[in-house]
Amino acid sequence: MASVKEVPCLEVRHVRKSFWSSNRQVDVLKGIEMSVAAGQLTMLRGRSGSGKTTLLNLMGGLDRPSEGEVIFRDRPFHQWSDKRLTVVRRREIGFIFQSFALLPLLTALENVELSLRMAGIPRAEWKERAAKCLDLVGLTKRANHRPFELSGGEQQRVAIAKGIAHKPFLLLADEPTAELDTNMAARMIGVFREIVEKEGIAICMTTHDSTLWGAADVVYQMVDGRIVSE
């Protein structure tokens, strides 16, 4: 029987992505082949502008490839309607954006609860699960603070708690440790490892930080819209 680590959660096949900008075509992704397995931490590294965020957006169904396929849990994500994509994204995928995407009027706990609400989790489960996720990122004492009362690093940790609260199959994170100091970044990667190992979810994150690559199961290096090593 295949172990959970061998099951691809997401496959990217022959993917190309181009944008039109100032009347010319810009080819950002030039034939990407990769996969992200359940129970593994996958990292995407590469210089600024190499196409990491564009690829992450396609993986999460936030955008569609110009060519090629994105297969999420054996389903052709790239062919789906926006409506169907939205439902699956809310329930089955977690996102951690560079901009945190926290709502300013809600407390840390309420921000985490919001992703449970969006995922259709019964209300009775919100408080306990949200508190557990804040505990996981070391923010129990800040649960009732609003984003403006938190440091950049603390806001980033709330965003991580929010991304994992609804137990997604796939967590996509764009530079999730960018605002954190070295110790806290290492701690967050420890949390990610715990999540992949204990909950069997797949995480794919981008990072420039070479000190973190050793914690990944797989590291893909991107150069100018291509993956050059694995």
Structure tokens, 9: 């959660």
Site string for ligand ATP, 107-136 (x = CB under 6 A): ------------------------------
4 by Cβ neighbours in 10 Å (0-12 / 13-18 / 19+) ranks as: middle
Compare residues 3 and 99 and give the one whose CB is closer to ligand ATP. 99
In the complex, minimum distance from the CB of residue 229 to ligand ATP, in angstroms, rounded to a whole number? 16
190 membership: H or E segment, kind and range: helix 182-199
In the complex, minimum distance from the CB of residue 12 to ligand ATP, in angstroms, rounded to a whole number? 14
Q: What are residue 28's phi and psi, to 5 degrees?
A: -95, -45
Q: Binding to ligand ATP by residue 48, rule CB under 6 A?
A: yes
Q: What are residue 46's phi and psi, to 5 degrees?
A: 155, 155
In the complex, minimum distance from the CB of residue 83 to ligand ATP, in angstroms, rounded to a whole number? 22
Q: How many residues touch ligand ATP (CB under 6 A)?
A: 12
Compare residues 20 and 148 and give the one whose CB is closer to ligand ATP. 20
3-state secondary structure of 192: helix
Q: Residues 9, 11, 45, 46: which binds ligand ATP (CB under 6 A)?
A: 46
Compare residues 30 and 146 and give the one whose CB is closer to ligand ATP. 30
Q: What are residue 106's phi and psi, to 5 degrees?
A: -100, 150
The span of 47-55, 66-74, 111-119, 143-151 binding ligand ATP (CB under 6 A) equals 47-55
- How would you label 123-158 residue by residue, b for 16+ Cβ within 10 Å and e otherwise? eeebeebbbebbebbebeebbebbbeebeeebbbbb
In the complex, minimum distance from the CB of residue 53 to ligand ATP, in angstroms, rounded to a whole number? 3
Q: Binding to ligand ATP by residue 50, rule CB under 6 A?
A: yes
CB 65 within 8 A of CB 18: no
The span of 49-57, 77-85, 112-120, 137-145 binding ligand ATP (CB under 6 A) equals 49-57
Cα 224 to its chain centre, rounded Å, is 21
Q: Binding to ligand ATP by residue 54, rule CB under 6 A?
A: yes
Q: Is the dihedral of CA 161, 159, 37, 45 positive or negative?
A: negative
Q: Binding to ligand ATP by residue 34, rule CB under 6 A?
A: no
Q: Residues 28, 43, 180, 219: which binds ligand ATP (CB under 6 A)?
A: 28
Q: Binding to ligand ATP by residue 183, rule CB under 6 A?
A: no
Q: Binding to ligand ATP by residue 60, rule CB under 6 A?
A: no
- Listed in sequence order, the residues at least 6 apart from 23 whose beta carbon sits closer than 8 Å to its beta carbon are none
Residues that bind ligand ATP (CB under 6 A): 19, 21, 26, 28, 46, 48-54
